[in-house]
Amino acid sequence: MSLNIDSKNSKLKFEVIVAYRRIILIPISLNPVDLSGFRVVVLGGTNGIGLESAKILTQWNASVILTARSEHNGKAAVKYITSSLSEYCVGKVRYAIVELTSFKSVRKFAASFDGMAIKILINNAGMITLDSVATEDGIESMYQVNFLSHYLLTSLLIPALERGTPSRIVHTSSLMHWIGSINRERYSKEKKNRNNSMGVGVYNDVKLMQVVYSKTLNAKLSGVTSNSVHPGFVQSSLDRNLPPLIAEAALWVRSRVARTTEEGAATGIIVATDPELVGVGGLYFSDHCINSLCGYKQGGAYSRVLDAADSEWLLSTAQVLTDTAQDTAEFKIEGFQTMYSVIKSGDGDEVKPGSMVTVHATGIVQQTKTKFWSTRDAGQQVSYCLY
């Protein structure tokens, strides 16, 4: 079914749209920052804001790792970004397949950064659906994809971010968090938001969760800052999982009155890279005043704040739910490093290059001077071969 909303008075419609964009969508200017030597992770980097964020950061000479749900999407994103680079650009982009409906997949990805340093983490991936679908972890999909998997990945990458200090975490939230709520029964570790009505209501709730987590996390970190952002109303594919007629109507509206994806990426990019924001965290930034950094200069008093008891409940529940996943994984980052392998405890034999085994993510991992990684788990020596 095709949705035909065009009117005959196209000239008037065009003028109204232009006026709206000039008055409401305040232009955002970006000042390039040299990110040579920066390792950057962009969660959800194959379309929309995430893809444009990865492109801009790569153009600014960062080494970017973006996550994708499939090899096809990952390769397409890398091709799109590399085609935009000048011959003088030293930035690089790679992709990793990560499924946010699986805590196991998130843990695989996080384990690949053992011993590495990360300068910037942008938590951008998100979805909205009207269907109540449980993930493999038994949690409603919007709750897990939009918040719990972000929470888990960020928690697991804190050591890598601490090795990269000063480093930054940016959570892509939304103005819609203002009308979100934290229903303790609905989002409890028992119910996990299963069998509840979906859609915008849950989206608002998880966006509020992101703001709360960002602010609380920042208070616990040293050398790593955490901020949340509202990118504005953006031309994205966020509505792709809605019923076709609704998705088409949303696309029509976004294409006419929303920011482009590059404009939408700008707020998060500024918060992630602006030299004036080094060491500044625990704030919420919005697209309408990011050029003047008013969220910073006016104290960031634009986001909702939950009382301490609700915040504590939310994060303790997230900890319980994300701890249910297994701590073992097999993983590779396409084009960034090949498979790394384990010498199992007590074997004593080197693993041949190209083999693929289970990598135990528990324990403390350190890189030695040779091309081996080592850890001690329950007092036993285990080695990882990096080639």
Average pLDDT value for the chain: 75
Domain boundaries, the chain: 10-322, 338-385
pLDDT tens digits along 22-39: 445 666 778 899 999 999
Residue 203 is among the residues annotated as catalytic for this protein = yes
Is the CA virtual torsion 246, 234, 334, 159 positive or negative? negative
CA angle 147/329/322 to nearest 5° reads 30
CA nearest neighbour of 382 among 328, 340, 326, 342? 342
AA letter at 147: F
The pLDDT value recorded for residue 347 is 36
pLDDT tens digits along 244-266: 666 566 565 555 566 677 887 88
Of residues 311 and 352, more confidently modeled: 311
**Catalytic residue selected from 143, 203, 302, 340:** 203
The pLDDT value recorded for residue 263 is 82
Cite the beta strand spans of the chain per DSSP E: 39-43, 63-68, 92-97, 120-123, 167-172, 224-230, 284-286, 328-329, 341-343, 359-360, 364-367, 372-377, 380-385
pLDDT tens digits along 170-196: 999 877 777 788 889 999 999 898 876
Per-residue burial over 332-363, b = 16 or more CB atoms within 10 Å of its CB, e = otherwise: ebbebeebbbbbeeeeeeebeeeeeeebbbee
pLDDT above 90 for 319: yes
The pLDDT value recorded for residue 43 is 96
pLDDT above 60 for 346: no
Q: How many CB atoms lie within 10 A of CB 86?
A: 7
Q: Which CATH number does the domain 10-322 belong to among 3.20.20.140, 3.30.470.10, 3.40.50.720, 3.30.750.210? A: 3.40.50.720
Contact between 152 and 125 (Cβ < 8 Å): no
Contact between 159 and 218 (Cβ < 8 Å): no
pLDDT tens digits along 120-162: 999 998 777 777 789 999 999 989 999 999 999 999 999 999 9
Cα 195 vs. chain centroid, distance in angstroms? Answer: 26
pLDDT above 90 for 363: no
The pLDDT value recorded for residue 344 is 32
Q: What global pTM score does this model have?
A: 0.74
